[in-house]
Amino acid sequence: MVGALVILTQTLPARADDASELQTKIRAALRGAKAFVETFAMKGPAALIAGTSTFTVVAPNRYRQYVVSPTSGIDDTIIIGHEIYGNEGKGKGWTVQTWDDRLVTGFEGDVFAVKVISVGPDQKVGATTVGSFVMVNPHGAKESDTLQCTYEKTAFRPLVCTSDLSTVKYTNYDDPSLKIETPKNARRTDG
């Protein structure tokens, strides 16, 4: 009976306190990275829901979101401080606007505002032991849409998150070759 109890407690999600603590550590790890790439891919039978969004972060304040969608085409957005550059890939070139803190924080929130719901058991990925957790899907339609995720046990960096309809991969942590250049000849559209 004791063996069954041990197995049962190892498979149950951790307490909410543990989720809150892990959430704090994951957010700090993402904010502390010199650079990383988050690639979000929608999957599904209908071409309308398929697509990818690649978010590149280069500290302290450079972000790039490159979206490819079968319905909307290409959308490329670069944030450097409060300057927001956009290019919809329709031959019109880059535009630029200045945004306030609220808008910039809202744009980057999907990447940095990881919301952990529960902590799961450790898992083996190849020869490596990783942690697991469940988080709210920042791209989901509802708060109840979740992702099953893994993370580096020592650095608390997310690795891969999956659901039936999407996959999120975190790669290139602290990669010095990641750069986000200021677009040339951007046309100002905010005045």
CATH number at residue 162: 2.50.20.20
Compute the distance between CA of residue 161 and CA of residue 133 in angstroms, rounded to an integer.
9
Q: Is residue 188 domain-resident?
A: no
Strands (DSSP E) found in 33-181: 35-42, 51-58, 62-69, 73-80, 83-87, 95-98, 116-125, 128-136, 146-151, 158-162, 166-171
81 found inside a domain: yes
pLDDT of residue 45: 56
- The residue range of the domain holding 43 is 14-177
Which pLDDT value is given to residue 164?
87
The structural domain count of the chain equals 1
Above 70 in pLDDT, residue 119?
yes
pLDDT of residue 101: 87
pLDDT of residue 138: 85
Would you say residue 183 lies in a domain?
no
User: Does 166 have pLDDT greater than 60?
Assistant: yes
> For residue 5, is it within any domain?
no
Q: What is the pLDDT of residue 110?
A: 78
Q: How confident is the model at residue 7 (pLDDT cuts 50, 70, 90)?
A: very low
Here the tokens at position 122 are 């450790």
Of residues 101 and 1, the one with the higher pLDDT is 101
Per-residue model confidence as pLDDT tens digits over 95-106: 999 999 888 887
> What pTM, to 2 d.p., does this model score?
0.84
Residue 37 lies in a domain: yes
pLDDT class for 49, splitting at 50, 70, 90? low
Band of residue 9 on the pLDDT scale cut at 50, 70, 90: very low
Instruction: Please report whether residue 70 resides in a domain.
Output: yes
- Does the structure show a pLDDT above 80 at 157? yes
Is 158 within a domain? yes
Residue 136 in contact with residue 115, Cβ under 8 Å?
yes
157 falls within a domain: yes
- Please report which helix (H) or strand (E) contains residue 186, including its range: none
